[in-house]
Every structure is written in structure tokens, then in C-alpha cells.
Amino acid sequence: MRYVDHSVTTSTKRISKIGLGTWQFGSREWGYGNDYAGTGAALVVRRALELGITLFDTAEVYGLGRSERILGAALAADPDAARDAYVATKIMPVLPVGPVVEQRAVASAHRLGLRHLDLYQVHQPNPAIRDGATMPGMRALRAVGLVGDVGVSNYPLARWQAADAALGAPVLSNQVEYSLARPRRGAALLDFAARESRIVIAYSPLGQGLLSGRYDATHRPSGRVRSVNPLFLPDNLVRATPLLDVLRDVAAGHGATPAQIALAWAIHHPQVVAIPGASGVAQVESNAAAAEIALTNDEYAALTTASDRFTPVAGRAAFTAVAGETLRGAGIPWKTGRKA
């Protein structure tokens, strides 16, 4: 396993370049079921620790706290191995003022069974409440030792910088959607992270499975989360074919899978770590192995070029198309929006 430069964090723990995202732990929308929540997730966490994965990301909103509980129980089952775990969670900022931030952090720590949160993140920028009202709570949490590093998620660059100023200390990380399927979202953030020794945490680094190469226009995903993702519209699956072809070509040269090459591309930048989920032990093993793949400059450039040429249907057109697919799947004619 590879790790980010240790100087970026206040923690004594290392942050692995490949982490484990746990949105699927206990969240009904992923449809993994009770067996996974009860035993499968714990096996994934245990194997991740064995493979040198240290970064574990969750949030209070995932399964309405259930993800935190499942992760906490899995870590508690092997305290020696979990000693190096760098645990990150997030507050959903409905009212992210100082006292609320403090209370929610205490609640998350309780669910996780921890006395210290290595990274506490604001899950979304609140359009009505600026970070000047939020960061005093983060400062208080750091002062009492409940929180180590502070992070944000889904923040544009200007707001990340504003949060930095409001905290009066480095806001270590910004967790954003970043992958070959959506690379343009990260350029300015990467420049800032490199200049200021910060971290960009890439969620959905596999485009929720698009970059695995398992899906095409005739074989679309059926799960709730993926079925409403515009990337899996038939038109976008066709448009993704050239990108997937390059992924497969590079993967063949490394004896790897397209998913592993997609992860290797994401973490190629020194300031990027990726937090793919895992449906089982085999997948977490595959994800961890991606950290050992070193792309050549030519391979990285070819993948980036193919990514830049991928122009999925987005915005209002994508919303309309997803709505139409959903209604047609329910047997409702799209033109009227009513049952025939």
C-alpha cells in the first residue's frame, strides 16, 4: 500500500492512497442486504486493515447513522489492527452552527465507539450558513481533542479557501467526485492541494461502476443508486465506449482490470486519495492492489485524453432522460407522465 506524504496531517497515522468508502454499510439504497450489514461489512473492514488500508470514510447520514455503527463495531473487533485506522466521518449541515457541529461530532464518535475522530468533514456547503458560523465548532472540537483534522466535501475552491480562513488553520481535505468519468471537476482543487499540501479525497472514483467496464447500453445496472445516475443512460454508456476501450488496453498491459487502472489514474496525483466502496473481500483486495500500479506518463496521458473526450449528457437533458427512463421502467408513458 502507498500513503500520502505524512507532513500534510496533524495525525501520527498514515493516510493510505486507497481507502474504503462505507456509504453502502447499512444503507438501503445500495441493496446489499442484512447479511452484508451483519457480517460482510466486517469482513471487508478486517481485510482492508490487513492490506494496509488506513483511511475509512463514513458519514452520519449514511444509513442514518448505521454505517458509523457498523464501521465502529468492525474496528472494535480487531483493536490491534485498527490502531492505525484513520477514521473520517461527516456532518450533514442542515444547521451547521458551532454548538450543533459540536453535538453532532459527539454523536458520531459515540456511534463509532471512538474518543477521537481523525478527520471531521462538512458533508455539503450550506448555501444559507457560511463557514464563519461553522468553523468555531470545529475549533472547539480540536481544542478538546475530539477532532484531529478538519475537512470539507463538495466545496468549490473559493469556499474551501473561505473555510480555511474561517478555521484559522488548514482545512486538510476536500472530498469531491473525481474520476476518469468526471475529471474536469477537480483541476483547480488539485492545483490548490499541491500548492498548500492538502488532500483531495476522490469519492466515486470508479464512476459508481461505469469504469469497471461491466455495463453497456444493452446491460445497464438495476440498483437504485446507479439507475438514477445519468452516467448509466444508454446514450452515455455508448459515449463511454472509447474511454473504456483505452482503459481495457492499459489494463491488459498491466495484467490488471479496468477498475484497477481507473483507481491508479485517480491516485496518480500525489495529493489525491480514493475511497471506493467494496461489496466483498475480493473487491477490497482488488482495490488495494491498484495502489501498486504505476502508470507511465504515456498511459496517464492517454487515459486523460480519452477522459477529456468523454462528454456525457448532463444537466437538464440528463435529468429529463433519467426521468423518462424511470417512468418507462415503471410502465408509465413518458410523453404524458401518466399511466396508459
CA distance 172 to 113: 23
| Contact between 153 and 189 (Cβ < 8 Å) | no
Q: CA of 266: how far to CAs of 176, 180, 213, in Å?
A: 12, 7, 16
Using the 8-state DSSP alphabet, how is residue 145 labeled?
A: T
Q: CA of 151: how far to CAs of 92, 325, 326, in Å?
A: 13, 36, 35
Number of residues in the chain: 340
Q: Which of 32, 36, 62, 120 is catalytic?
A: 62
Maximum Cα–Cα distance for the chain, whole Å?
Answer: 63
Residue type, 209: G
CA distance 112 to 146: 13
Cell of 59: 458519514
215: annotated active-site residue: no
Active site (catalytic) residues: 62
